[in-house]
Chains A and B, each alone.
Chain A
Amino acid sequence: MAGRHGHGVDAVSHPVVEVRDLQYTYPDGNPALRGLSFSVAQGETVAIVGANGAGKSTILLHLNGCLMPQAGTVRIGDFPLSKRTLPDVRRTVGMVFQDPDDQLFMPKVQDDVAFGPLNLGLPADEVDRRVMHALSIVGAAHLKDRPPYRLSGGEKRAVAIASVLSMSPTILVMDEPTSNLDPQARRRLIELLKTFEQTIIVATHDLDMAFDLCARTIVVKEGRILTDGPSREILQDAVLLVAGHLERPLRLQGCPVCSPPG
């Protein structure tokens, strides 16, 4: 797998992501996060779900220092998030944005995938190796010479993920990775993510994906955590989900067509 560095034996015991009492208010006075805490262990896959505007994206932006906590702390591996540790944090956490058009800004796919490694100051041949490796993981090696604006939605998403993988992060953070994908592309993406060994945190409205991919789900409401627990339980709990402006995944709604028998 793309450069798993691992944190030694004790990584399992202490969390790779730890968020404590995080608060954040946007400059226009919008209190997006009102104090929330959670931690994620090495190798976990966690879904963050919640209504529009609940604060999911804002949480994710804190995980690699795109936003700095106004109150509370964020700790990534051994590094408490601060200006000084920013380069280390960003090397550890790879962030895939919701709109691939925001992420793929370079003229060619391979330039884009190489953007991160080049900024890390890696030598040219290592950059090349990483680019090809990351592209082949997501099955997009054939796209390397194409300009991003001529890719389909699914291809863009794959390349956006590759552009993050090329930095060999140990934690992958994704904002709504399945939005705008057709059913097949969505399925392919889920299967791809299942093969990853990195710690994965996804913010999503796609509860079926949360159910499929993530063992654990965190429900966010109005900048606070409503619940946090195994996806199997949370996504079955109709009362809880309604409180979070959500509904049960289709496959759990007892629909005879889409839920698997038994």
Chain B
Amino acid sequence: MEKTGSSLLDLTYLDTLSDQDTPVHRLDPRVKLLTTLLFIVCVVSFNKYELSALLPFVIYPIVLVALGNLPLGYLLKKVLLAAPFAFLVGIFNPLLDRAVLVHLGPLEISGGWVSFASIMLRFVLTVSAALILVASTGFNAVCLALEKMGAPAAFTVQLLFLYRYIFVLGDEALRMLRARSLRSFGGRGMALQVSSLMIGQLLLRTLDRAQRIHLAMRCRGFDGEIRIARQLRIGGRDLVFLVGCSAIFLFMRLHDVPRWLGDTAMALMR
């Protein structure tokens, strides 16, 4: 219940975050979407034993969080909460891949640990990039971007509706849950049957609501097509961001920056 209640809060919170006015928020949503995708592809395209070359990629989330005035702690917490699956699958690597890959003085580290660390680093990078995308763009703008980039209207409209009514139906579900927890003692109200009935009840209300919404839409001349007047415009700033980020990502993909830094530093020290 805590978790479910908080998932609604999360939605609301991320939504509020997107309601700011910062250089990151002002960027065109299409540009942000493309950049995020490119970032993710670059990150996951590394060899599975790669770690050092992945590190420089943290710059992207860090810069966006800083410029976009986003709460770092909150985002990190969300990333961690989502980690279990990647962790569970990844944790087998150290068990199965025991060939020693790294010698650090007396310490020997197996390939499994390296690839596990790499998985977790990838995880943090990709997930935070996606979260930053919504937190700095807003879901509706992401949908608009998708539509302008050629996603079928049936899909994007459906996304908009879904998002709009999560809040309404989520509240309804919360009220039901509250009513259930007030009257269920020792978890007996959690039985499959009770929950199914609640879900069924919620479904009936949802269907009624869908009907009413459809009526309301038809009353205002709905003919099967949703028209949104808002236009998107890609400006010079957006282009600079897109091209700049792409260039940086590609550079970091092709060059192991930390190694170079380390080598240079060592050379200087000598």
Interface residues of chain A, those whose CB is within 8 Å of chain B, are 61, 64, 66, 87, 90-91, 94-95, 97, 99, 101-103, 105-108, 111, 114-116, 118-120, 124, 127-128, 147-150, 163-164, 167
Contact = CB atoms under 8 A, between A and B. Distances in A.
Contacts of A119: 220-223, 227
Interface of A is mostly: helix
B220 A111 contact: no
B265 interface: no
Interface stretch (B29-37, B87-95, B158-166, B187-195): B158-166
Interface hub of B12, B160, B220 (most chain A Cβ within 10 A): B220
B209 A90 contact: no
A91 to B, nearest CB: 8
B140 A147 contact: yes
Contact of B216 (A102, A107, A114, A147): A102
A126 to B, nearest CB: 11
18 contacts: A61-B215, A64-B219, A97-B212, A97-B215, A102-B216, A105-B164, A105-B165, A106-B228, A111-B230, A115-B222, A115-B227, A118-B228, A119-B221, A119-B223, A119-B227, A147-B164, A149-B164, A149-B167
B229 A105 contact: no
Interface of B: 12, 15, 140, 143, 160-161, 163-165, 167-168, 209, 212-213, 215-223, 226-230
Contact of A106 (B15, B164, B167, B212): B164
B220 A105 contact: no
A116 B220 contact: yes
A195 B212 CA distance: 29
A102 B206 CA distance: 11
Nearest to B141: A107
A101 B171 CA distance: 12
B248 to A, nearest CB: 32
A138 B99 CA distance: 72
Contact of B221 (A116, A127, A147, A149): A116
